[in-house]
Amino acid sequence: MPRRFPPFSAIRAFESTARLGRQTEAAKELGVSISAISHQIKALENYVGAPLFEKQSGQLRLSAFGSQLLAPLTGALNMLESTFANYPNRSGVRQLTIQTYKPFANLWLMPQLADFTTRFPDIPLSVLTSTKRPLESDVDMAVIYANSKPQEERCDLLFREVTTPVCSPDLLKMKGGEPTIERLASERLISSAKYMNAWQDWMSDAGVQGFHARPSLVVDDLSTGLQAAISGVGWVMDMTPLASWYKGQGALVAPFKGVLHETGYSYYLVISRHCVNREDALVFRDWLLKQCGREEDEAPGG
């Protein structure tokens, strides 16, 4: 006897809408129109003979029957994802796809990857850079920059962002003597247009009240600012962990280690549901946590 199922597209449309809370988000995730999502949900409602959603104050909410149906359907789809994740794609090579932000990728991740590719040459990687929150269907893992812990089940804290001034060792030597916070206020300062208050925030934590930075140079992103500092243009505010590789190579120094300003933001590693048990994803996670100096028992809770 053949199995009897409603259309699989209708099941996916319902589960995606229920999980994401909006038909527009479900349409983006599944790559179809909002109208198609609506028609597919209606088809599933006709199949089961009951409404799956109801509108409350203009918001789409699961009905009582929809709530009962969601959990087993999500579990079944998760199992299907995990099953097919164990097989390579049509090219015969399964890449591990990681999404993050360009500054983190360029300044921190790329300098570390030689170690990973040497240790694990049989795990090919694909690194995507974007400021948009990744969809689980598009990536296997993501490094997310946020001011609160993401809600995903598998989420590891990598870094808490703190700021501290850095400059080239040659600039420090040229000035002579021990650098002081008071003297720093009169130095050539470099600011990022994306965080114009960085100097004021750090100076406030250092006990300097009423400080107003007059930067000698404003750049549109921190990577440009770090390059300027390496070239001796002036001091720039490092935002952990972005300058750590340059500091490790001796291209930049951070003399004021006792004063660190916490921005409230952190970097988190999130693993898509279909990859939580994939061997290559777990290998990369363990390697990344070690590179970040995080202990295994710290990881899930952050």
Of residues 299 and 230, the one with the higher pLDDT is 230
Residue 302: pLDDT band (50, 70, 90) is very low
Count Cβ atoms within 10 A of the Cβ of residue 203 and give its class: 0-12 exposed, 13-18 middle, 19 or more buried. Answer: buried
The answer as to CATH 3.60.21.10 being correct for domain 96-159+265-291 is: no
Of residues 177 and 61, the one with the higher pLDDT is 61
pLDDT value of residue 300:
37
Note the pTM of the prediction, 2 decimals. Answer: 0.68
Residue 295 confidence (pLDDT) above 60: no
Q: What is the mean pLDDT of residues 240-259?
A: 92
Residue 84: pLDDT band (50, 70, 90) is low
**Does residue 164 contact residue 256 with C-beta atoms inside 8 Å?**
yes
Residue 132: pLDDT band (50, 70, 90) is confident
Instruction: Say which CATH topology domain 8-85 has.
Output: Arc Repressor Mutant, subunit A (1.10.10)
- CATH 1.10.10.10 domain position(s) in the chain: 8-85
Average pLDDT value for the chain: 86
Residue 175: pLDDT band (50, 70, 90) is confident
Q: C-alpha 132: how far from its chain's center?
A: 9
The pair of structure tokens assigned to 299 is 């990881």
pLDDT value of residue 88:
55
Residue 213 confidence (pLDDT) above 80: no
For the domain 161-264, what is the CATH superfamily, name and number? Answer: Periplasmic binding protein-like II (3.40.190.10)
User: 92: Cβ–Cβ under 8 A, 6 or more apart, which residues?
Assistant: none
pLDDT value of residue 90:
52
In terms of DSSP bridges, do strands 141-146 and 217-219 run parallel, antiparallel, or are they unpaired? unpaired
- CATH 3.40.190.10 domain position(s) in the chain: 96-159+265-291, 161-264
